[in-house]
């Protein structure tokens, strides 16, 4: 079975056929950097990181473009409220997003364009739209003429223009031909940053930014455009309209991840339920948080709870425990071992991570049985399968990403624990079990778990 993906624009699962054979181009709407990220923001990053990894594993040469919206109404409002320049707000929060993506194991994008670096491309796009009769300048603003595109406008969100509300992106609707027209360019306002254009100084509209950046790096027609389901309208609808009205084919597949909620509410900073990433990785390790976000199907909603988070962490630890124990027996893992067919089928079926991880857990159960029987041949095969599946999901505990977590202190801890374990070994040899138990208790109190195994003593930091 070849890769099949749910396409929002057709509301159907379609076989993935790239624009160019053997290559895949993905544009993901990244952060609008008015605030630091919560796990609702980073869920999108994790979901599309898994897609990218799977497409790479499937043989595609992937170009992954994730933008940064570094000028926007929200950024300007935060700037005014804090009394700092807009670029201070943007830079501070972009760094927070980059740290969060890195911390949760997301691969760096092939290119990460900022909106403010692509004003020339935006001007060119507006000129093309005006020339084709799909945009107009008014009072220093530039608007997209929705009526000129009425036959196709609303196709992504399955709406009709007659039923749409006015676009709430302008202080003065009198400048518009129609209240539903949306702003491509906003004229200069006191205290706001500006860039020169043929229609006067101003700044870009949100929707224009993504169209200009996507087509610059991926071409006029590319494979996949992704983002949260909350972006379908108006953002992605407007991207399609302005891009195709200008003559570009734009995205061939539209993929949208579900929202992360607390109760019935969408997670947002205004609700006070933001669950920022630095706070979350104090509750569970980053790899466990990634597992929590990757387990549900990307199109499903997640209703956050502390209990569900801890259950996910415990489930990952069961996988990690097998990998750790098996690696003590098998030192050379076959990185080219084939993936279980059920795992492949799950990910090929619209990135079915719940089913794929069910396969991982089944292989881990078989691996634990093989370990208990001392069947090294079976352990080797099952460890290779497990690690190769986890690598696709960005969850391999023995990868450089996760082994390096906390590695600054590891040599010192190793040395101290080695001394304590030698003392414990000597106490057991002279049958002074009280002293041996006391040493073990001291290590436990220090946050170090000691386990006696058939292959010797092993230790790890306590959960």
For 265-403, CATH number?
1.10.730.10
Q: Is the pLDDT of residue 394 over 60?
A: yes
Look at 417 and 225; give whichever has higher pLDDT.
225
The reported pLDDT for the residue numbered 154 is 94
Q: What does the alpha-carbon distance between residue 32 and residue 17 come to, in Å, rounded to a whole number?
A: 31
Q: What does the alpha-carbon distance between residue 378 and residue 383 come to, in Å, rounded to a whole number?
A: 8
Are 354 and 403 a contacting pair, CB within 8 Å? Answer: no
Q: Is the pLDDT of residue 260 over 60?
A: yes
Q: Which two tokens stand for residue 233?
A: 């309208």
% of the chain residues with pLDDT over 70: 91
Q: What does the alpha-carbon distance between residue 199 and residue 284 come to, in Å, rounded to a whole number?
A: 52
Are 146 and 182 a contacting pair, CB within 8 Å? Answer: yes
Look at 239 and 458; give whichever has higher pLDDT.
239
Q: What is the pTM of this model?
A: 0.89
Q: Is the pLDDT of residue 410 over 80?
A: no
Look at 159 and 455; give whichever has higher pLDDT.
159
Q: Is 58 left (phi over 0), alpha (psi -120 to 50) or beta?
A: alpha
The reported pLDDT for the residue numbered 220 is 98
* Window from 21-30, 206-215, 268-277, 382-391 with minimum mean pLDDT: 268-277
460, exposed or middle or buried, with CB in 10 Å at 0-12, 13-18, 19+? middle
Q: What does the alpha-carbon distance between residue 196 and residue 173 come to, in Å, rounded to a whole number?
A: 23
For domain 4-257, give its CATH number from 1.10.3720.10, 3.40.50.1820, 3.40.50.620, 3.60.20.10. Answer: 3.40.50.620
The reported pLDDT for the residue numbered 159 is 93
Are 259 and 286 a contacting pair, CB within 8 Å? Answer: no
First to last CA, the chain: 40
Task: Kindly indicate the confidence band of residue 412, based on its pLDDT and cuts at 50, 70 and 90.
Answer: low
Q: Which helix (H) or strand (E) holds 196?
A: none
Closest CA to 104 of 49, 34, 30: 49
- In this structure, the number of other CB atoms found within 10 A of the CB of residue 247 comes to 13
- Mean pLDDT, the chain, whole residue set: 91
Look at 196 and 262; give whichever has higher pLDDT.
196
Are 35 and 97 a contacting pair, CB within 8 Å? Answer: no
Query: Which pLDDT tens digit goes with each residue over 331-366?
Result: 888 888 899 999 999 999 999 999 999 999 999 999
Task: Kindly indicate the confidence band of residue 193, based on its pLDDT and cuts at 50, 70 and 90.
Answer: very high
Q: To the nearest 10°, report the CA torsion of 107, 65, 228, 148.
A: 180
Q: What does the alpha-carbon distance between residue 50 and residue 169 come to, in Å, rounded to a whole number?
A: 34
Quickly list H helices, 299-452.
306-329, 341-348, 353-373, 376-393, 400-403, 410-429, 433-445
Q: What is the mean pLDDT of residues 430-448?
A: 77
% of the chain residues with pLDDT over 90: 78
251, exposed or middle or buried, with CB in 10 Å at 0-12, 13-18, 19+? buried
């Amino acid at each position: 079975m070849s890769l099949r993906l749910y396409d929002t624009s057709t509301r159907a699962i379609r076989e993935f056929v790239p624009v160019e054979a053997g290559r895949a181009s993905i544009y993901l709407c990244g952060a609008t950097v008015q605030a630091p990220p919560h796990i609702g923001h980073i869920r999108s990053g994790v979901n599309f990181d898994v897609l990218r990894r799977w497409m790479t594993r499937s043989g595609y040469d992937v170009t992954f473009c994730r933008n940064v919206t570094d000028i926007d109404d929200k950024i300007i409002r935060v700037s005014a409220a804090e009394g700092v320049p807009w670029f201070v707000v943007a830079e501070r929060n972009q760094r927070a997003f980059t740290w969060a993506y890195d911390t949760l194991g997301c691969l760096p994008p092939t290119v990460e364009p900022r909106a403010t670096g692509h004003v020339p491309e935006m001007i060119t796009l507006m000129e093309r739209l005006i020339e084709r009769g799909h945009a107009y300048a008014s009072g220093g603003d530039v608007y997209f003429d929705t009526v000129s595109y009425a036959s196709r406008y609303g196709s992504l969100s399955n709406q009709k223009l007659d039923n749409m509300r006015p676009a709430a992106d302008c202080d003065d609707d009198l400048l518009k031909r129609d209240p539903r027209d949306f702003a491509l360019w906003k004229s200069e306002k006191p205290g706001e940053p500006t860039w020169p254009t043929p229609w006067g100084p101003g700044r870009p509209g949100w929707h224009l930014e993504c169209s200009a950046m996507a087509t610059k790096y991926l071409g006029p027609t590319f494979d996949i455009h992704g983002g949260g389901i909350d972006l379908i309208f108006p953002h992605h609808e407007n991207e399609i309209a302005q891009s195709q009205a200008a003559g570009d084919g734009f995205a061939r597949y539209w993929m949208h991840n579900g929202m992360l909620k607390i109760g019935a509410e969408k997670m947002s900073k205004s609700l006070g339920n933001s669950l920022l990433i630095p706070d979350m990785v104090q509750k569970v390790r980053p790899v466990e948080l990634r597992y929590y976000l990757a387990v549900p199907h990307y199109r499903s909603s997640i209703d956050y709870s502390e209990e569900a988070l801890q259950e996910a962490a415990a489930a990952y630890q069961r996988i990690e425990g097998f990998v750790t124990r098996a690696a003590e027996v098998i030192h050379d893992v076959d990185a080219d071992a084939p993936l279980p067919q059920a795992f492949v089928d799950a990910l090929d079926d619209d990135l079915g991570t719940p089913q794929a991880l069910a396969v991982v857990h089944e292989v881990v159960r078989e691996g634990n049985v093989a370990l208990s029987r001392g069947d090294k041949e079976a352990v080797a095969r099952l460890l290779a399968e497990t690690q190769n599946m986890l690598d696709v999901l960005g969850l391999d505990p023995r990868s450089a990403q996760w082994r390096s977590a906390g590695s600054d202190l590891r040599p010192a801890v190793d040395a101290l624990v080695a001394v304590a374990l030698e003392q414990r070994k000597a106490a057991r040899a002279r049958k002074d079990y009280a002293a041996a138990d006391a040493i073990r208790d001291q290590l436990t109190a220090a946050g170090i778990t000691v386990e006696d195994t058939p292959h010797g003593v092993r230790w790890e930091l306590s959960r």
